[in-house]
Structure 1
């Protein structure tokens, strides 16, 4: 399978979207962590950690591809692993007592 290089506008759009995901996801993580600190609720702490992993995965996947020059598929795998771990933590936080 051959992959073509994306046009420049797609690369710029990717950078803009990943930046917005990092900013908005960071805010969600911050507010969840702030709620955890205020209440001391362990599930809220786990929820904040899950959101943090999802955001970190998104940033690391794009960064690995754009800045470190890894294969696109490897960047997607890195992102997927962090997102999977984050969603598992979020699911656990919603189940936790």
Structure 2
């Protein structure tokens, strides 16, 4: 018995293989495109998150330093007042750090 496929069937099989190969190539191209797009989106999200974190931390630091300068100016030479200012600045810093961690810590 011959293992050869009759000519009429082999032509149909060749066409089917061509169609399957074309579909597989299309799926591969779509997969690569989607991956590229998802990577670009993630990169942009990371960039924006980093910029937002930098802005928040800069603002928090500026406010803490502003309050420290203000408090030290009020405290004069009083050790007790300086200690009070230090505790308040520390409290403000802890609150800012917790807020930043809640917002950006995933």
Q: What is the TM-score with the length of structure 1 in the denominator?
A: 0.41
Q: Would you tell me which structure has more helix in proportion to its own residues?
A: 2
